[in-house]
Structure 1
Amino acid sequence: MSLLSLSSNPGLSLTKVDPLILSDIKNLTRFLAENNKFQTIPASFFSQNKNLREVDLQNAGLSELQPGSFSNLKNLLDVDLSKNRIDNIGAKVFTGSSNFQTLDLSNSQVKSVEPRAFETQAEMLFLMLDHNMLTSVRSALLGLKNLLTLTLNENAIVSLDEDDFKDLGMLNSIDLSNNELEDTGGALVNLRSLGTLNLNNNCLTKLSFDGMPLLTEISVSNNRLQSVPEGLDVIKHARILDISNNPIQSLPSGQFASLSFLLKLDISNVSAIQHGGLAPDALAGLHSLVELRVENNELSKVPSQALHAVKQIQILSLSHNKIATLEENDFISVSNVSNLQLADNMLAKVPEKALRPFTNLTQLDLSGNPLVHVPDWSFGNLTTLASLRLSNAKLSVIDPAAFHGLKGVHSIDVTNNNLTWLPGDLLKYDRAFPFYLYADQGNPWYCDCQMKPFSQAVNVPGQSVITNIHCSGPEKYKGQNLGDIPLANLTCDCEHQGAPSVDTSGSDNKTAVGQPAKLKCTVLSCPTSHLFWTTPRGFVISPHLTQYPGYDVQDDGTLVIRSAVAEDAGSYTCTAANYLGKAEQIHKLEISDTTNSQLEDQSILYCHDSAISY
């Protein structure tokens, strides 16, 4: 017999094992006993199984490893002791078993490893000690001269000693993330073969890469670094560098100039950028960079000058900033980008002109922006675009030709918005393949006459749009799939259906700095319309939108400005839209310099209106 499995069956777990059960199985090579409730393995349990190559005691209920439990097993290669409750790893548990390749002690509540516990495992390649309760590894790793991978993440290690890793000259990968490290104590300088270093989520205030010339992947996100790690000129072969989420105080020009082979750089949530932006020459020398992430840096505009140094990038993320407008030439130097992420900014309008330079864009993420309205042809001729994300915005109106031009799109995501209907012509254009419209989740779809043209369009046999919309109303259709409702039943209670009309009569024409103003917008339509205001400052505001403190659109369509500033002067447009068309009216508001200025007769109207039928 070469294999013995004592693994539990459903509803059955062993609580103890006969010490002599294996004594007569001389040819045993694999012993599997995971998912049991043992407390210990007897010291002589495997003593007669000299050919044993694999032991699996994962989740076996072990609370201790007796001295000699795995001793003198010269052919033993792989041992899995993960997901147990082993408080301590003694120095004599593995004595004499010199050919281990893999030892997994992860998720086992280990609090300590005695000095030289693995000293005879000189051939071990992979050691997993992650997800335990270790506070130190003092002298525990001595003798592991050929170890390639070491995982110590998710422990409670506070500091390292200079000699902790002194025998790990062949180590290629170490994970120390999610500890409590305040200092590396010079321990890393011994890792001359190290290629991958993960120090994420610690408490480091400084770091040096000296002694690690072969590093290619470095992650030190979520620490307390006050400056960029020292020794960037040492890691000339680096491919990935993540220093995000650190209070780095300075990011001088040319800081990364020695990293000419770097492929990915993450400098998100860095204090120096938050306080002073990204310097024009900050990215100089990064000639091979493919992916750049500058998220969560409170940027109010695209760092277009800095981007000139990385014209070759393919992935650019500026998500989670405060960018409210994009200029026409912001991305002109990085027109080859294929994946652009602008999620969770303050964009009130789709930046159609700024997107024009892109010739290879396949993924565009505008989710989480306060987008209320997507006008016709918002994405120009982005014929290469495959994925468009508009989720978690504030969308209430999408014009019929909003997505026209997107002939290569595979998916559009408009989930979690304020959409109640979609125009029937939204997706009427030639395409060679089906695509997915993700729209169901988080939208208050109202299945009446306004959804009839769309339902008719997407339910035509052979059409290319795949979508699944469930009704939020009216009550009789709540929860039903739109496609299951007969078209004849999608009706509105209107004597005469028509496109909306708007009227801004009665609005304030003038106010003073620091004073309030009310701009009225009365909408007449059946079926009901969605309403929004566009302001001189570029805000697009719909009822109950909270992104613009001090501005509010009430349920009756009135725009309330609580305390005017000089920039509020200018033309305001009230727009209303239903499935039959759209109407708008412009109203001008003057702002006087002083609060004591005499307001002029507010009966004067400054307006211009227009109407559009679909």
Structure 2
Amino acid sequence: MTSMATNFTLILVLFVIKWSASDSTCPSYCECYSLRTQIVADCTSKMLAAVPNGLPLNITTLRLGYNNLTQIHNSTFAGKSLSLLERLEINDNLLCYIEPGAFHELTRLTRLDLENNRIRLLHPDIFLSLSRLWKLILNGNPLALQEDGPFLVAPQLKVLELERCEIGEVPPLAFQNLSELHTVRLANNRLTTVNLQGPYLMHVAVGSNSLSEDGLVLNSPALIVLDLSECGLRRLPENVLRTTPNLQRLKLEQNLLSSLDVGILSMIPHLRMINLTGNEVTFLHVDIFQHNNELTHLDLSKNPLQLSTDGGFIHSSSIQVLSLAACNLSRVSAETFRGMPNITSLKLSDNKLRSLSNLTFSVLPNLEYLSLDGNRIFTVLADFVSGLSKLVYLNLSRNPIQLSTDEPFLKSNSLNELILDECFLETVPATTLRLLPNLTSLSLSNNQLPTLDVQTVQVVSDLNHLAIDGNPLICDCPLLPLWQWCSIRQCEKSIVRCKRPRGRSWVVLSDLVCEDGSVSPSEDFDIDLEVEMVDIPIPSRRPPERLTI
């Protein structure tokens, strides 16, 4: 059993105590159990046409998802004595009608999930008696919002999800009786206009809608997160930024923005993260973020950027995470990054870079994570990262790199993880890692290696993770020393198959006896398509692969 499976089993043992099958307090077609602080009755996927009788009186969570319920009447929960119920899930049913007083007796309800039903209309007062309800999920219902009145009256509702509801407009009065609302999700509707206001509104997501030029109206001074992805925007909505002065995270992925006006972001001085992935940005003024001294994350991936002739780019001393992946860049220089000296994570994946000077990243003394995968880099100067004393992660995968037969590949006293996957490597010389004394993880997956000389890895005393899967390995005596080294060093688990013997795991090496009489030191490995190397967990130090805000 794998460690993951063992951990999962332990979690179940510790946190789940099931009723016996014969317990009369739980309907036979449901499963009742205790999960942490919740008493759960799980009746999902039982083809139920009605809420079952005989539910335990002390349940706090009732799961009725993936059944055939079509209506909920005032009598549905009446008399069932579910006064302790806090969470109710009726997602993925056939609900088309809910009577206004249906939830009247569920006074302790805090979360209600009605996702993916057929609900078109809800009475505004249907949740009025639920003074503790704070999260309502209505995604995937063909809802219609009233034009001249409130959508719902729910005094304590804080999170409202209305994604994929075919809504065409959010009228000004729609949410006026939801005074405590702080999160609204309206993505993937048919919205052209949205009018939202509220003193506590902090998170608004209206992505994947075709908003008109001035179709978004927000009066939310407390707003922190705004998602405007895939809205067809050609310019930033100035009226929105003016009324959201405390905005910290702005998502603008997959729009039609070609530039940003200098000064427009000065209206949101507390901006910390901005995602512009997949727009049409070719140029940004060097001082575009001069008023955003709290900005730490900038994602410009998948934009056709054109750097100035002198190589200069953005000036911002606060930016720490920068992604310029898939920007069609054929060159970068020290001038590109000189104005951003505090970058710790830089992603330049999937560009057209061919060479790198040893000065390219010299202006980034705090750089820890560098991704250069998917470029056209052929040769790498050994000292191109030698001045980066904090660099711990370097990804050079998917580059046609040529390794010197008699010179070290790189020089770095700080590098912990090196990835050279899919580089068409046919050999890795013994000198390759000689000047990487603190390397702990090396990935050589999916190259063209028939074998790997154990001397290549022996020079690095702390190396404890080696990935060589996806290579056409010849599992015979020349590879045996590497198997022995990996066994003794307890490398992390890796799936490795041989080209010869065809399709076999390299575990076959454990039974191999070579001319000198040497054999594998272990006969207890799992003879499966895996090599079990255990008990040395490696902290995962990965850079943010994409900006998530």
Q: Work out which of the residue numbers 216, 233, 245 in structure 2 matches 1:213.
A: 245
Partner Cα separation in structure 2 for residue 387 and residue 5 of structure 1? 44
Report Cα offsets for 1:154-191 as digits up to 9, x if no partner.
Answer: x2334124xx213x231111122333445451413x12
**CA shift for structure 1 position 106:** 4.5
- Alignment partner, residue 273 of structure 2: 240
**CA shift for structure 1 position 47:** 5.4
Query: Is the aligned partner of 1:8 residue 2:38?
Result: no
Report if the CA contact (8 A) 1:372-1:397 is conserved: no
Give the 3-state SS of the residue equivalent to 1:426 in structure 2. Answer: helix
Report Cα offsets for 1:110-162 as digits up to 9, x if no partner.
Answer: 34344545442132111122344434333533322221111222x2334124x
Report Cα offsets for 1:260-284 as digits up to 9, x if no partner.
Answer: 111111122223x2x4458755422
- Alignment partner, residue 365 of structure 2: 335
Counterpart code for 1:237: H
The change in CA–CA distance for 1:6 and 1:329 in structure 2 (over 3 A counts) is closer
The change in CA–CA distance for 1:353 and 1:31 in structure 2 (over 3 A counts) is closer
Q: Work out which of the residue numbers 354, 360, 377 in structure 1 matches 2:384.
A: 354
The change in CA–CA distance for 1:471 and 1:67 in structure 2 (over 3 A counts) is closer
Partner Cα separation in structure 1 for residue 185 and residue 351 of structure 2? 34
Report if the CA contact (8 A) 1:5-1:33 is conserved: no
- Alignment partner, residue 299 of structure 2: 266
Query: Is the aligned partner of 1:311 residue 2:341?
Result: yes
Structure number, greater radius of gyration:
1
- Alignment partner, residue 158 of structure 2: 125
Give the 3-state SS of the residue equivalent to 2:226 in structure 1. Answer: strand
Q: Work out which of the residue numbers 464, 467, 473 in structure 2 matches 1:438.
A: 467
- Alignment partner, residue 110 of structure 1: 142
Q: Work out which of the residue numbers 479, 484, 488 in structure 2 matches 1:451.
A: 479
- Alignment partner, residue 401 of structure 1: 431
Report Cα offsets for 1:556-614 as digits up to 9, x if no partner.
Answer: xxxxxxxxxxxxxxxxxxxxxxxxxxxxxxxxxxxxxxxxxxxxxxxxxxxxxxxxxxx
- Alignment partner, residue 144 of structure 1: 178
Counterpart code for 2:169: S
- Alignment partner, residue 564 of structure 1: none
Counterpart code for 1:414: L
Give the 3-state SS of the residue equivalent to 1:388 in structure 2. Answer: strand
Give the 3-state SS of the residue equivalent to 2:336 in structure 1. Answer: helix
**CA shift for structure 1 position 242:** 1.2
**CA shift for structure 1 position 470:** 3.6
**CA shift for structure 1 position 361:** 0.6
The aligned runs of 1:159-178 (5 Å cut-off) are 159-161=192-194, 164-166=195-197, 168-178=198-208
Query: Can you give the 5+ residue segments of structure 1 that lack an aligned partner in the other structure?
Result: 492-614
Partner Cα separation in structure 2 for residue 466 and residue 32 of structure 1? 40
Query: Is the aligned partner of 1:254 residue 2:287?
Result: yes
Report Cα offsets for 1:483-530 as digits up to 9, x if no partner.
Answer: 334141899xxxxxxxxxxxxxxxxxxxxxxxxxxxxxxxxxxxxxxx
Greater fraction strand? 1
The change in CA–CA distance for 1:81 and 1:299 in structure 2 (over 3 A counts) is same
Report if the CA contact (8 A) 1:344-1:367 is conserved: yes
Counterpart code for 1:349: T
Query: Is the aligned partner of 1:64 residue 2:96?
Result: yes
Partner Cα separation in structure 2 for residue 270 and residue 100 of structure 1? 46
Report if the CA contact (8 A) 2:474-2:501 is conserved: no
Partner Cα separation in structure 2 for residue 413 and residue 55 of structure 1? 46
Q: Work out which of the residue numbers 99, 107, 123 in structure 2 matches 1:91.
A: 123
Give the 3-state SS of the residue equivalent to 1:232 in structure 2. Answer: helix
Partner Cα separation in structure 2 for residue 98 and residue 348 of structure 1? 65
The change in CA–CA distance for 1:4 and 1:394 in structure 2 (over 3 A counts) is closer
Per the normalisation by structure 2, the TM-score is: 0.77
The aligned runs of 1:456-535 (5 Å cut-off) are 456-459=484-487, 462-463=488-489, 465-466=491-492, 468=494, 470-475=496-501, 478-481=504-507, 483-488=509-514
Aligned-residue RMSD, C-alpha? 3.4
Per the normalisation by structure 1, the TM-score is: 0.69
Report if the CA contact (8 A) 1:136-1:158 is conserved: yes
Report if the CA contact (8 A) 2:88-2:112 is conserved: yes
**CA shift for structure 1 position 245:** 1.5
Q: Percent identity?
A: 21
Partner Cα separation in structure 2 for residue 29 and residue 158 of structure 1? 36
The aligned runs of 1:186-225 (5 Å cut-off) are 186-188=216-218, 190-208=219-237, 209-225=241-257
Report if the CA contact (8 A) 2:495-2:505 is conserved: no
Query: Is the aligned partner of 1:36 residue 2:64?
Result: no
- Alignment partner, residue 425 of structure 1: 455
Partner Cα separation in structure 1 for residue 60 and residue 427 of structure 2? 67
- Alignment partner, residue 190 of structure 2: 157
Partner Cα separation in structure 2 for residue 490 and residue 183 of structure 1? 78
Report if the CA contact (8 A) 1:365-1:388 is conserved: yes
Counterpart code for 2:113: L
The change in CA–CA distance for 1:98 and 1:123 in structure 2 (over 3 A counts) is same
Q: Work out which of the residue numbers 23, 45, 65 in structure 1 matches 2:76.
A: 45
**CA shift for structure 1 position 13:** 3.8
Q: Work out which of the residue numbers 280, 292, 297 in structure 1 matches 2:327.
A: 297
Report Cα offsets for 1:380-438 as digits up to 9, x if no partner.
Answer: 4322212111112211121112122323222111111111111120111352x551101
The aligned runs of 1:534-613 (5 Å cut-off) are none
**CA shift for structure 1 position 37:** 2.5
Partner Cα separation in structure 1 for residue 125 and residue 404 of structure 2? 67
Partner Cα separation in structure 2 for residue 351 and residue 318 of structure 1? 18
**CA shift for structure 1 position 215:** 0.6
The change in CA–CA distance for 1:257 and 1:81 in structure 2 (over 3 A counts) is same
Report if the CA contact (8 A) 2:182-2:203 is conserved: yes
Query: Can you give the 5+ residue segments of structure 2 that lack an aligned partner in the other structure?
Result: 1-24, 26-37, 518-549
Report Cα offsets for 1:448-503 as digits up to 9, x if no partner.
Answer: 344244334434xx335456464433346744535334141899xxxxxxxxxxxx
How many residue pairs are counted as aligned between the two chains?
A: 475
Partner Cα separation in structure 2 for residue 146 and residue 349 of structure 1? 59
Partner Cα separation in structure 1 for residue 282 and residue 496 of structure 2? 50
Partner Cα separation in structure 2 for residue 417 and residue 490 of structure 1? 30
Report if the CA contact (8 A) 2:403-2:432 is conserved: no
Counterpart code for 2:181: L
